[in-house]
Chain A
Amino acid sequence: MARKRGRGMAGGWYGIARTAAVDRAGTWVEIDDGGTVKVVTGVTEIGEGILTVLAQIAAEEIGVRPEDVVLGDNDTARSPEAAHAGATRQTYMLGNSVAMACREAKGRFVQAVAEMWSVDPDSIATGNGYVWAVDTNFRQSMAQAVEQIKKRGVVVVGSANFTAHHTGLDPVDGSGRPWQAYVFGCQVAEVEVDTVTGEVQVLGVWAAHDVGRAVNPRGVEGQIEGGIVQALGQGLMEDYKLAQGHTTTPGFAKYILPTSLDVPHVTSIIVEDRDPIGPLGVKGIGEPAMVPTIPAVMNAIYDAIGVRITSLPASPERILEALAKQRNPTISEIRSHS
């Protein structure tokens, strides 16, 4: 049989938000006319779905629907600092910051409504665009309530800053607290290797990742699926080549990317070990999703054909070269002493 199958697994871990440096993110919130909510923070979408995540968080915290949330973002002259879109920090840093700012605004809103209705603020509840006082017949849409408390002279605003207290590393022994939240992951890959052509197909990946708390599970799956395929590209085909500093792979005809025909079926398992520090318990998934894929695939290739690829990518040429070495037992790839 030219086609041989095998399985491999690998683990991994990751730190959330900026490394070995204090991280921070600021947010402004206004509970606005029409019962809408304006949320302003400094970073925007890079495709991961952060705008939707923030709308969900604001909606639940204030008591409106996600479509009632208006996000202002992405402008150093119009929004507070929220630093950068990277380091798997957006859901953690911005999500917690938005939740805290919404809580402050909601506290003021509840106070103003309680005064208007002459009820205990603790009896006030909100949800899906309505506000009511428990065990009374006071109930209004958020739109009506905002209109009335504005007539009483109140514009409801809130703001917050979420800080992650990371420390630098000791320059001698590296000791330090680079992150306050860590996530863990594990993936299993199943591959089929064609020993004639050297081609490796990844047929299935099972990916279990701790994300703290999934705000939008489908979005988390999207990050896991995308991360796995990006890693698979590096593992099997992508190779930016230089000759004396000049690239020989300047386009997608030479720099090969995974297409729809190259990708495995991905089964995502979302594990929720809530962050004990931040108010929401969320962590992140963007970068850690990629970490276990390549070694899981390389371990699966070994399981299938007994060659260990230690130099990426495991291109058909490398696989065939390794199979040729395998047939010549005088070449040993791995040294060990016991």
Chain B
Amino acid sequence: MAELKIETTVNGRRIARRVDPSQRVLDFLRDDLHLTGTKEGCGAGECGTCSVFVDGVLVKSCLLPVAKVAGKTIDTIEGLAVSGEMSAVQKAFHKAGASQCGYCIPGMVMAATAALRLNPDADREEIKERLGGNICRCTGYQKIFDAVEMARDFLNGKLSATAFDELDAEDGKYIGVNVRRIDAPSKVTGALRYAGDMVLPNMLHVQVLRSPHPHARIVSIDVTDAEGLPGVEGIVTSVDVPGQDGFGVFVSDQPVMARDKVRYVGEPVVAIAAESLAQARRAIAKVRVEYEMLPAVFDPDEAMKEGAPIVHDYAPDNIVKHIPIRKGDIEAGFAQADLIVEQTYETQQVEHAYLETEAGLAYVDHDGVVTVHSPSQNITHHRHMLARILNLPINKVRMIMSPVGGGFGGKEDMIYQGMLALLTMKTRRPVRLVFTREESIATTAKRHPSRTSYKMGLTKDGRILASQVRIVYDGGAYGMSTEGVIRKGAILGGGPYNIPNIQIDTYGVYTNNTPSGAFRSFGSLQSQFATESHLDICAERLGIDPFELRLTNAMRKGDATHTKQPLKSSAMSDVLEAARTASRWEHGAPNIRGATRSDLAGEGTRPSCTLSPRAVAETPAPKLQHEKGAA
């Protein structure tokens, strides 16, 4: 391999190294210098987690070939804390609660530092623009803006250093107090190591060959050419599974790697461990899989029809689960109604887009315990499943939850830990797999798309007499959390309202789409979107204020839910009143009255976003001020 000798200054230290010229600056920092505070979020310059300074200029290190930094000065997140003392921006992020999962935070701190160096007086709107190249999936950005403003004011002498201090709790009462996050210093300094940041001596790198077809029979898998390549240490397929091959939250329908057939594009088929990532990739390219195409089904309503392609033999109707809820007599309710409204609603597939892609590190320890570090949201359940899959006693399987760089339900299902366990058992060496962003998006679970048919009957004065709701959720190729998702969608689908007559049916359906899995709000986001949109339509038809309509029907303490459970308490009326008051809501029916409302553009709104004069004025790029700046 060609080598290049470069000299750079990194965080104030002169460094001379021989490097692989195909490396990016990001790889050089992370792999060669072990500066793992700089994260890879997308590898395409789109998310900003890899932001560093090169000669003082904020750049995305995933876009920069390593040769470009020869003779230059690089500053990373690790270099911001001088002599171990956090910078003002880092302290402000800690104090303001600006970090959640923390994965975007090193890049965000670099961008914020750059923003204040370029304009020490930047206002909130300018701060937003200057952070526009850095994505955060957890915080909603508000606390990040707060932190940058706090740092700005400190640096300008408008805020004393004590503003960053912890508050004293009176009488030892810490519940109800804004204690600073105890994990924030590790996140704002880049010290926290996520699974993809961890290395072990003698570690192998894993790559996965995935299905290019939505539905196909596997005729043969030939790994002969791959096996002979330099650096290849282990290859596994479904034949290497020693125990019961199947995982899932409610039904164990998903093999660790495709068994006999593939059911979606991106399904793992072969996994290879090699001395280097490049060698593993080359080996993957040499595997030959012969497929026989099968008819595929992509629409859940089509999948429920007689004669549709069958995704799993155990479910010839393609139905994962049906959840019914019945209370009262809906026909009697509709018969008494003054108004009946029917409408359909649709929601799309959504990606979790946590900034940390899936990653894991596995090894067999000195006692023969198969150990997997991964950002798993459910180590208890994953241990159960893995022990069965590996045919090991449960105390010979150990799951360690590495820091989770965003989960939102997407790391609840066990999708790659099995492959790592098989490879480390086969090679007896530590193995690590880190998904690329494309792999993460294209092959892991999504929010269930849904189609809802809604029918509601009400009296003239706005009492709901009957609701009939039918929702079809596309579960994709495997069961995963689908049963739970459609159950929650059903239970909560009628909304927090007293409805004497209700009928809800939710269906989870197999298709050959990317599997759907757990995702924050778990099926109820879809059903309540329908309910709350529907109530707005009803309120307009009835000429009733939407708050009033909900207050009329709100569940109260002692009321029975749609599953006939008496509520021990209910704050529905309280939250309605609180939101109405705080937003200074102008009373009235929702009849397209935006043009005449008097409650718009007041406190609690931001200015409308336009291309700012700053953005126009700054072409070409502004002169750097960071040399004299104190940030």
Contacts and interface: CB of A to CB of B under 8 A. Distances in A.
B399 interface: yes
A174 B504 contact: yes
B39 to A, nearest CB: 14
B224 interface: no
A63 B172 contact: yes
Interface stretch (B18-26, B201-209, B334-342): B334-342
A175 B97 CA distance: 41
Nearest to B451: A311
Contact of A11 (B97, B129, B437, B550): B550
Contacts of B411: 46
B91 interface: no
A312 B400 contact: no
Contact of B182 (A51, A64, A251): A51
Contacts of A300: 594
B594 to A, nearest CB: 3
Interface stretch (A27-35, A145-153, A217-225): A217-225
A240 B546 contact: no
Q: Helix, strand, loop or mixed for chain B's interface?
A: loop
A206 B44 contact: no
Contacts of B381: 83-84
A184 B140 contact: no
Contacts of A156: none
B142 A225 contact: yes
B518 interface: yes
Contacts of A225: 139-143
Interface stretch (A107-115, A133-141, A157-165, A273-281): A273-281
A81 to B, nearest CB: 5
Contact of A172 (B324, B437, B554, B604): B324
Contact of B140 (A9, A266, A337): A266
B585 A299 contact: no
Contacts of A169: 323, 325, 487, 491, 563
Interface stretch (B30-38, B76-84, B440-448): B440-448
B601 interface: yes
A127 interface: yes
A251 B532 contact: no
Interface residues of A, number: 157
A144 interface: no
A48 interface: yes
Interface in B319-356: 323-327, 338-351, 353
B100 A240 contact: no
Contact of B338 (A14, A222, A239, A338): A338
A213 interface: yes
A287 B522 contact: yes
B441 to A, nearest CB: 5
A208 B353 CA distance: 26
B132 A260 contact: yes
Contacts of A183: 571
B141 to A, nearest CB: 5
A219 B487 CA distance: 29
Given A76-B399, A247-B441, A11 B571 contact: no
B141 A127 contact: no
Interface string B339-379: 11111111111110100000000000000010100010111
B265 interface: yes
Interface in B520-577: 520-522, 524-525, 528-529, 531-533, 535-537, 541, 546-547, 550, 554-555, 561-565, 567-572, 574-576
Contacts of A255: 351, 353, 441
Contact of A52 (B181, B402, B561): B181
Residue of B296, B484, B521 with most chain A CB atoms under a 10 A cut-off = B521
Nearest 8 Cβ contacts at the A-B interface: A245-B214, A127-B172, A47-B101, A6-B594, A174-B325, A295-B532, A225-B140, A84-B378
Given A204-B604, A210-B575, A303-B593, 13 more contacts: A7-B585, A13-B496, A44-B403, A60-B172, A219-B181, A221-B97, A225-B142, A247-B441, A252-B47, A255-B351, A259-B135, A260-B141, A290-B520
